[in-house]
Amino acid sequence: MNLKYIEKLEYSTILDKLSSFCLTDYGKDLCHSLIPNSNKQEVSNLLEETSEAVRLLSEKEPSFGTVKKVDYSLKILDSNGVLTLEMILQLTQIFKTSAVLKDYFYTDHDVSCFPFCETYFSKLYHNPSIIKSVEHAIIDENTISDAASSKLSSLRKEMKKIEDEIKEKLNHFLHSSSYSKYIQESIITIRNNRYVIPVKEEYRSFVKGFLHDISTSGSTVFIEPMAVFELNNKLHVLQLEETIEIEHILQQLSLQFLPYTAQLQEDYDTIGHIDFIFAKAKYALFLHATKPNINEDKCISLVEARHPLIAKETMVPLTIELGKTYSSLIITGPNTGGKTVSLKTTGLLCLMACSGLFIPAKEESSIYVFDQYFADIGDEQSIVESLSTFSSHMSHIVHILEESTSESLVLLDELGSGTDPIEGSSLAISILETLSKHHTLCISTSHYTELKNYALVTDGFENASVRV
């Protein structure tokens, strides 16, 4: 698939719109990497997949929570490293989201009616034991619960006891009639993980203790009085022991995930893929789009089709057929009359359908699964290669004639323009004849009367016009 040509049809903008309906990073990645499929059966499967998600959405929307990338966390586990609190919670969220999605799908649904979606939901794994263990041990991404271990609980009780004793002594100091005149503010604060009091700079020598900091203005010094020195030491030792115990708890929690790294990776990928499938369904509902029929007759039949990037109220619906009794369609009409939009709409809807996306057209619309899409639309003068507009178009068309097959769709905008009208119309006829002989479906816009007259008298050609 030559992405250069499908980009002329604004396909990447469709993918950007699609990704906006995704809730996970992997789902967004799948949207942006989506390319049209050239296998008829796979296209049918992709469309049915979207259809199932639309039906599920009509009942209830699934919840995905906040699923973060797991690559780095899994690498740490594989190297026998210790996860951070945040990483542990993120991996736990994978299991929790898997559990929620499985419950969503397997409760209140006849899964036999959703075989394509069931393929993904059945892959989801969750571990209630790990979820319970983590929820018991962790409060949030910054806090380990006292209940995480008996030793941690004991350490924190002792720390609280010593902190209360330090504060009691310092409060007595702050409100003592002997020292109150030395104090800048009657508050207890912390510097270098030690409890201190703010003393007026000019009285620093009157308070025996250790200087830990000086205010920006220099008018206040923060002193640890000798009366709490030993208590601060005890507290510091307990804090070190707490840090060691927390590291031990994190190590034990990390070890619980180690046997399940493969399941976590598959869960992450599967959640993203389910998110991607439901994004296709949400986009279909947003566009009021329908599932197109896939035909074997190498034809396009779009009924009241709309360009998906143009507001519905400003878009004149397009009805177009190609391939049943003619393989080349020439669209004529005045400038700014909608010829190019018609060309782009046809190509873009075919691309969307072959990507498993519903299209904004009537349900009876039908498309063929082409092997490739070629489009020459717009002015692409190359300054670097010093090509004129006409020469630039011709270089593209030469490539299209060389690469297209009888299974391709070719879209040509204002074929033959940019040169002498007589030469341009003759050249356009020659190009269209070549494509017709190869049985390649082609839509071309033109303002040449000669081209319109040629289509009137030539088998396999048909004229069309746009409503203004």
Tens of pLDDT, residue by residue over 262-316, are 999 999 999 999 999 999 999 999 999 999 999 999 999 999 999 999 988 878 8
Residues 47 and 32 in one domain: yes
Residues 34 and 176 in one domain: no
Residues 189 and 307 in one domain: no
Paired tokens of 189: 């604060």
The region of weakest confidence among 163-177, 264-278, 406-420, 428-442 is 406-420
Residues 339 and 454 in one domain: yes
245 domain-assigned: no
69 domain-assigned: yes
Residues 358 and 412 in one domain: yes
- 184 versus 53: the higher-pLDDT residue is 53
- Which residues have a Cβ under 8 Å from the Cβ of 320 and sit 6 or more positions away? 300, 301, 302, 305, 329, 342, 346, 443, 464
Residues 338 and 217 in one domain: no
Compute the CA torsion angle 147, 148, 151, 156 (nearest 10 deg). -60
pLDDT in tens, 110-139: 899 999 999 999 999 999 999 999 999 999
- 359 versus 389: the higher-pLDDT residue is 359
Confidence band, pLDDT 50/70/90 cuts, at residue 389: low
pLDDT tops 90 at residue 452: no
238 domain-assigned: no
Confidence band, pLDDT 50/70/90 cuts, at residue 254: very high
48 domain-assigned: yes
Q: Which domain holds residue 79?
A: 3-144+250-287
Residue from 378, 352, 391, 376 nearest 443 by CA: 376
163 domain-assigned: yes
What CATH number did the domain enclosing 111 receive? 1.10.1420.10
Compute the CA torsion angle 200, 206, 207, 208 (nearest 10 deg). 150
Residues 137 and 29 in one domain: yes
243 domain-assigned: no
pLDDT value, residue 386 = 40
SS3 188: coil
Beta bridge partners of 178: none
257 domain-assigned: yes
pLDDT value, residue 460 = 93
Compute the CA torsion angle 401, 405, 406, 410 (nearest 10 deg). -50
pLDDT in tens, 342-382: 999 999 999 999 999 999 999 999 999 999 999 988 654 34
Residues 45 and 98 in one domain: yes
Rounded mean pLDDT of 131-149?
A: 95
Instruction: Give the number of domains in the chain.
Output: 3
Residues 280 and 297 in one domain: no
391 domain-assigned: yes
Residues 40 and 174 in one domain: no
What CATH number did the domain enclosing 311 receive? 3.40.50.300
Residues 91 and 228 in one domain: no
CB 197 within 8 A of CB 213: no
For residue 318, count CB atoms less than 10 angstroms from its CB and return exposed for 0-12, middle for 13-18, buried for 19 or more. buried
Residues 387 and 272 in one domain: no
Beta bridge partners of 302: 320
Beta-strand (E) ranges in 261-317? Answer: 293-294, 300-305
